Amino acid sequence: MSENPAAFLNDLLPYPGHSQNTIRIRGARQHNLKNIDLELPRDRLIVFTGVSGSGKSSLAFDTIFAEGQRRYVESLSAY
């Protein structure tokens, strides 16, 4: 195992037909989100706008951030 905790990312292959330049979200459901599909550009500033209660925070924190955190924790060695 490499000493660099993020080194494994170089070995991961993207899903078939999936660009490494985007983050793909399919069927997100959380609070006001009802099966939304998105493709977000990587390494870019992204802004979510909408009326109060439209699901902006649910998308940013409960969906995208939570999944990133889950993947990071799974990448850590148990030893």
Tens of pLDDT, residue by residue over 5-63, are: 444 444 444 555 656 788 888 888 888 888 888 888 888 998 999 999 888 898 888 88
Which stretches of the chain are DSSP H helices?
Answer: 56-57, 66-75
Q: Which pLDDT score, from 0 to 100, does residue 8 have?
A: 42
Per-residue model confidence (pLDDT) at position 52:
93
| 71 — pLDDT class (breaks 50, 70, 90) | confident
Query: Residue 77 pLDDT more than 90?
Result: no
Q: CA 62 to CA 30: how far, in whole Å?
A: 7
pTM of the model: 0.58
DSSP state for residue 62 in the 8-state scheme: I
